[in-house]
Structure 1
Amino acid sequence: MNFEEKDFSAGEVILIDKPKEWTSFDVVKKLRYLLKIKKIGHAGTLDPLATGLLILCTGKKTKSIESYQAQEKEYTGSMVIGKKTASHDLETEIEHVAEIDHISEEQILELTNKFTGVISQIPPQHSAIKVDGRRVYKSARKGKEVKIDPRDVTVSEFEITGINLPEIDFRIVCSKGTYIRSLVRDFGEELGVGAYMSSLRRTRIGEFKIEDAHQLDEYVQAYSNYISEVIDKNNTEEA
């Protein structure tokens, strides 16, 4: 990481591998404090329990956020069938259990075809979208259900990468606005047994890949070391 060539005020793009249990805005706040810069934002929210690629833009590069958000995304993850939660992931407790002995691998593989192409889905109640100017997850956490209209999204690839029931591993390539938790929920409903998402990792946004992202703690440590070296150098020159 060569920070000497960086000008965060003028505008930089930073790729971070978001840690589990951090919100996307937690990462923004951390880097805002670290870099001592006010103008910084991210190009696409990841749920707290998800990990993976988070694009952050500083300075004038924040004007590019919408263009990054609009790009195709790739995810890998896992779902557990035969069980449901209100949030469709592990943010909330399991509230439904069904038998899955009758579910075959052939059924699972065939069903992916129904969720490929242009599909209609309703975002989760536990999500960051706004309805009437309010984040719907805030109402969901108070036990209030908000009416959310269905929306069309595009799933260009839906690959089952492993089956070890009740867990199913997958890889999905999709358009902006696709909720993987909603897809998992609907997949479970089509199987007739329910499902929740047990893990999720964003591996690509457009041409940006997770392999090129920095671990947050390593990035913070490297920048802190760089600043310390700059301070030491300046003190030496002034002496």
Structure 2
Amino acid sequence: KATKVVDRYQGMVKGYSGVFRLGEATSTWDADSPVIQRESWEHIKDEDIRKAAASFMGEIWQVPPMFSAIKHQVGGEKMYDKARRGESVELSPRRISIYKFDIERSLE
């Protein structure tokens, strides 16, 4: 019976949380791989971060990263499987909506 309402749930607003570290970059754009680049970040002010977050608000176009679970149109293979083999596929931008973007400071 629940399969009849799956589409309704998949279309609901989703919430995500994450952590970012200023001045570090990885090849997969996440914390699951080693840091490949470090840059100075001390010059970045809290206001700079707030402005950057505000630029994401509303409807924007986003190109998903290769290391994502999005399935490729040809063959239905997940993009991160292709990326791990060193393959690259040009992904089309997708329209997304961001309604809220909270920033909490951590000194870890």
Per the normalisation by structure 1, the TM-score is: 0.42
Q: Which one of 103, 122, 130 corresponds to residue 44 of structure 2?
A: 103
Compute the displacement of 1:111 (Å): 1.6
Compute the displacement of 1:74 (Å): 1.9
Which residue matches 1:114?
55
* 2:16 equivalent to 1:75: yes
Which of the two has higher C-alpha Rg?
1
**How many angstroms apart in 1 are the aligned matches of 2:94 and 2:37?**
26
Which residue matches 2:83?
140
* 2:3 equivalent to 1:62: yes
Aligned residues: 106
Give CA-to-partner distance per residue, 1:63-117, whole Å, 9 cap, x none: 3222111101122332112111122112222111111121111111122110100
Per the normalisation by structure 2, the TM-score is: 0.87
Unaligned runs of 5+ in 1: 1-59, 168-239
Unaligned runs of 5+ in 2: none
Contact 1:82 1:100 (C-alpha < 8 Å) held by counterparts: yes
Which residue matches 1:176?
none
* 2:93 equivalent to 1:158: no
Which residue matches 1:26?
none
Map of 1:125-136 to 2, 5 A cutoff? 125-131=66-72, 132=74, 133-136=76-79
Which residue matches 1:123?
64
Higher strand share: 1
**How many angstroms apart in 2 are the aligned matches of 1:76 and 1:139?**
25
Percentage identity across paired residues of the two chains = 34
Q: Runs in 1 of length 4+ with deviation above 4 angstroms?
A: none
**CA RMSD, aligned part only?**
1.6
**How many angstroms apart in 2 are the aligned matches of 1:137 and 1:77?**
19
Greater mean alpha carbon deviation, residues 67-76 or residues 98-107 = 67-76
CA distance 1:119–1:163, shift in 2 (3 Å): farther
**How many angstroms apart in 2 are the aligned matches of 1:76 and 1:118?**
18
Higher helix share: 1
